[in-house]
Structure 1
Amino acid sequence: MPTPSAKSRCPTTPPSPTSTRRRSSRRGRKFEQMQVQDLSKPVVASKADWLMGTTWLGFTPSNGSGYSRQQCQSTIQRQFSGGYVIEYITEAFSEPNPGYETDPVYLAEREQHQGIKGCFLSIHKLRFTSRPLEEIIGNEDYERLQDMWAKEGKRHRWSVAFPIIESYRIEGRPKAKDVLGNTAYQRLFGHPSATLRPLEQQDQIAIANLQITQVPATNSWIGIEDEFPSAERSEVSSLTERLLDRDLQNSQAQEGMTKERWAKVRRRAAWIADRFIQNRIKTNSVHCDVCRFSPNEITDGTGIRPRSLLDVHHKHPLAEGVRYTTVEDFTLLCPTCHRAEHALLKIGRSLLSEQH
C-alpha cells in the first residue's frame, strides 16, 4: 500500500426520479450535495480498490516496458472515456511481501479497510492521460510501494496512474451489493480484474440516486494545465472574455499565482465559457436561467443574434484555477439579472442558489 506521504491509496485486483440538492458546511466551506444523476457526464465504469483513492487510481501493465504501459493506458482510456468512475472497496485485503506483515502503515490501513469494505465510497473524474506513478508520489515512495507489493520482482505494480482531477464522496457509504443487487454485484466484482469494470445501463440506474458531495481534488491542477494549450489555440469571443474578467477580477484564487499563470487560468475560463454558450445555442436553450427571458422572439428577422442580449456568468469564480472547472460552472443571465446577481453576491446571497 502507498505510505501516507504518497497521499493516495493502492488499487487491487479482487474477485430516475427528480434529483434534489442541498448545501452542507464542513470546516467553514460550503459543499453542494447532489445525486449521481446530476453529474455532467455518466458514471461509466467502476474501480475496485482496497482503500479510497485520493489523488490517483493506478493500474498494473503486463510488464514494465513502455509499450506495455501504453497499452494499459489505452485500455483504461477506452473504458472511462467521456464519463466518471465509481470506486468500490473490496471485501478482501491482500497480504504484503514478507517482512512487511507488521508494518505500521500496513496495519493501520488494514484496520481502516474493515470499516469500509464492500462499500461504494467515491466517484472520480480522471485525467485522460496517465502519468508514471513515480512522478506523482516520488521515487522514494514508489520504491517502497514496490518493495511491499511487487510480485516476483516485477516492480511496475500500479505504475500506470491516472490523476484524479474531480472527486465526489458518496454519502452514507452504501454497500455495493445493496445498491446493485446480488446478480449485478457478482457480475461486476465477483472476479479479479486488472482494469476497470464497465457499468451496464441497469447499474447506472441503480446508482443514479446515491447522494454525493464534491470534495477537493489535489491533482485538479494537472487537468487544468492540460487544457491551457487548447485554450490558447482557440478563438474566444471578446465579449465572453470581458464578462469573465468582471466575474474574476476580485477572485482570491489569483493570490499566489504569477501574472502569467493567472492569465492562462482566465483564458481557460473564457474558453470553457465559450463552449458553454455554443452548447446552449446548439440545444436551442438561449434564455436567462433566472427570469427565463428568451430573446429569440424579439430578435427574429432583425439580424440581431439572440445570444448577444444575454451575459455569460461564472457561478464559482473563487474556484477558477483551484479546482477543475467545467461548463457546469457557467450560466446565462439577462443583463438585469446579471447586475442583480453581482449586487446580491456582495451581501452573501445569490439569485441562482435561491432558485433551488
Structure 2
Amino acid sequence: MVAAKADWLVADHWIGFTPSDDTLNARARCQSTIHSQAGVGYVVEYITQTFGEPNPGFETDPKYLDERAAHSLVAGRLVAVHRLRPTARSLREIIGEEDFADLQDKWAKSGERYRWSVAFPIIESYSVVSRPYATEIFSTTAMRRVFGHPSATLRPLNDEERAAIADLVLEPRSTSNAWLGIEDEVAMAEMGGIDPRIRTLIEKDLAASAMEGLTAEQRVKAKLRAAWLANKFAKQRRDAGTLVCDHCGYDAVARASGTGVRPRSLLDVHHKKPLDEGVRYTTVLDFELLCPTCHRFAHEIMRVARLATG
C-alpha cells in the first residue's frame, strides 16, 4: 500500500477528489497528482472522526441521515483497501446525471458544483476484516503526519507506516467498476502475441463462467484479456526461472534437462478463479503453473464443487 485516503464513508465503486476550481486545467492537475501518488499501488481507506454538515434543507434528508448513521459505526477506523484507476470519465459519467446533481445540491458550497468531481473508479477492493481504529495501528507521530491536517489529495505513506499495516487481514469485495480496469487492458490483448496453447487452456478454464451482467461482446473481451494476462504470467515465470508445478513441485527444468524439450511446454497455465473473470479485476496472481496431472485434478475439484453447490 502506498497511500491513505480519509473519507466520511466506506467507498463503494469510486473515490472522488475536489480540484481547486472547475476548469479543465484544475481537474487535470488534480488527476495527475492523485495518479502520481497512487501509481499502480493500493490505497488504505480511513474514516474520519467527523462527518460534514450538508447544505440547508438537507438536514433531515433520509439518505443523509442513513449516511451519518453509517459513519458513526466506522469513524476513526481503517476499513478498506482499494486499487484506483485513472480515467478520462467524469464523475457525472460514472455515477449518472441524477446522482451527480443530488451530490452537488447537498454538498457544494457557494454554488461551486464540482465537489469530488475528479473521480477515480475502484477496480479492485478489499475489506479490512477487523476494521481497527487507526490509532491502534499507527503511532501518534504517524497519525499526526498522515491524518492530522485536511488534504484534498491522498496521503502518501512512508516505509514505517506501510510496515504498520502490512499484517491487516483483507477480504475481497466486489466493485461495479472492475470492468473499467478490464476494458483498459483489452486493447493490449487485442494486439495479439498470445500463445495459442495458453489461449485454449484459458478458454477451457472459463467454460463454466457465466460472466453474469456482461454483454456477449464484453464476454469475448474478458476471455481475450484473461488469455493475455495468462500469457504475461507464463512469461514472468519463464523469465524468473521458476518453471515448477505450484501444487506438487514437479521441476520441468530438471525433467527436460538434456532432452531438447522446452521446460515450459511441460506445464499448463491454470486460472484459479475463473468465475471471477469479467466480474473482478483479475491480475497475474489469479494464475498458476501446473503439471498436466495437477491441472486435471484442479478441474475435477472444481467440477465436484459445482455439482455440490448446483
TM-score bracket, shorter-length normalisation: over 0.9
Q: Deviations over 1:107-139 (max 9, x none)?
A: 221122122110000001111335311111111
Residue 303 of structure 1: SS of its match in structure 2? Answer: coil
CA distance in 1, matches of 2:215, 2:114: 37
- RMSD (Å) for aligned C-alpha atoms: 1.5
Q: Do the aligned partners of 1:169 and 1:212 also contact (CA within 8 Å) in 2?
A: yes
Q: Which runs of 5+ in 1 are unaligned?
A: 1-42, 350-356
SS at structure 1 position matched to 2:190: helix
Q: Does 1:205 align with 2:168?
A: no
Aligned match for 2:146, one of 188, 195, 213: 188
> Which protein has the bigger helix share?
2
| CA apart distance, 1:197 | 0.3
Name which of 239, 243, 250 aligns with 1:293.
250
Q: Is the 8 A contact 1:130 1:163 kept in 2?
A: no
Look up the match of 2:281.
324
SS of residue paired to 1:347? helix
Partners of 2:83 and 2:123 within 8 A in 1: yes
Alpha carbons 2:47, 2:78 under 8 Å: kept: yes
- For 2:305 and 2:32, the matched residues in 1 are separated by 46
Contact conserved, 1:77 with 1:129, CA < 8 A, in 2?
Answer: no
Any unmatched runs of 5+ in structure 2?
Answer: none
Match of 2:52 among 94, 107, 125: 94
Q: CA deviation at 1:257?
A: 4.4
Question: What is the CA–CA distance in structure 1 between the aligned matches of 2:273 and 2:303, rounded to whole Å?
Answer: 14
**What is the CA–CA distance in structure 1 between the aligned matches of 2:71 and 2:54, rounded to whole Å?**
15
- Residues 73, 130 of structure 1: 8 Å contact kept: no
Structure 1 window deviating more from structure 2 (52-61 vs 218-227): it is 218-227
Structure 2: how far apart are the matches of 1:256 and 1:157?
31
Aligned-partner SS, 1:58: strand
Aligned equivalents of 1:320 and 1:174: distance in 2? 31
Tell me the residue number matched to 1:271.
228
1:238 aligns to 2:196 (yes or no): yes
CA deviations over 1:167-187 (Å, ceiling 9, x no partner): 111112100011012111111
Q: How many residues align?
A: 306
Per-residue Cα deviation, 1:286-335 (whole angstroms, up to 9, x for no partner): 11001101111232344322111100001111111111111111000001
Cα distance, 1:207 vs structure 2:
0.6
2-side partners of 1:156 and 1:86: how far apart? 24
Q: Deviations over 1:69-95 (max 9, x none)?
A: 111111000001021111000011121
Q: How does 1:13-162 map to 2 (within 5 A)?
A: 43-129=1-87, 131-162=89-120
2:238 is aligned with 1:281:
yes
Distance 2:213 2:29 in 1: 39
Partner SS state of residue 60, structure 2: coil
SS at match of 1:332: strand
Give the counterpart letter for 1:308 in structure 2: S
Question: Contact 2:195 / 2:231 at 8 angstroms: preserved in 1?
Answer: yes
2:46 alignment partner, SS class: strand
| Pair 1:107–1:205, CA change in 2 (3 A) | same
Q: Structure 1: which amino acid aligns with 2:261?
A: I
Which whole-Å CA distance do the structure 1 matches of 2:125 and 2:7 have between them?
15
Structure 2 counterpart of 1:195, one-letter code: T
Counterpart of 2:5, as a letter, is K
Q: Deviations over 1:142-191 (max 9, x none)?
A: 11211211122211110011111111111121000110121111110000
- One-letter identity of the residue aligned with 1:224: I
SS where residue 185 of structure 1 aligns?
A: helix
- Secondary structure of residue in 2 paired with 1:203: helix
Answer whether contact 1:309 1:334 (CA < 8 A) is retained.
yes
1:304 aligns with 2:257: no
How far apart in 2 are the matches of 1:258 and 1:58?
Answer: 28
1:57–1:162 Cα contact (<8 Å) kept: yes
Q: What is the TM-score of this pair, normalised by structure 1? A: 0.83
TM-score by length of 2: 0.94
1: CA distance between counterparts of 2:55 and 2:305?
A: 54
CA contact (8 A) 1:131 1:163 kept: no
Cα distance, 1:230 vs structure 2: 1.1
1:335 to 2:292 alignment? yes
Q: Distance in 1 between matches of 2:113 and 2:130?
A: 37
Structure 1 counterpart of 2:190, which letter? E
Is this contact kept in 1: 2:40–2:83, CA < 8 A? no
The one-letter code of the counterpart of 1:131 is R
1:315/1:330 contact within 8 Å kept = yes
Q: Is the 8 A contact 2:126 2:171 kept in 1?
A: yes
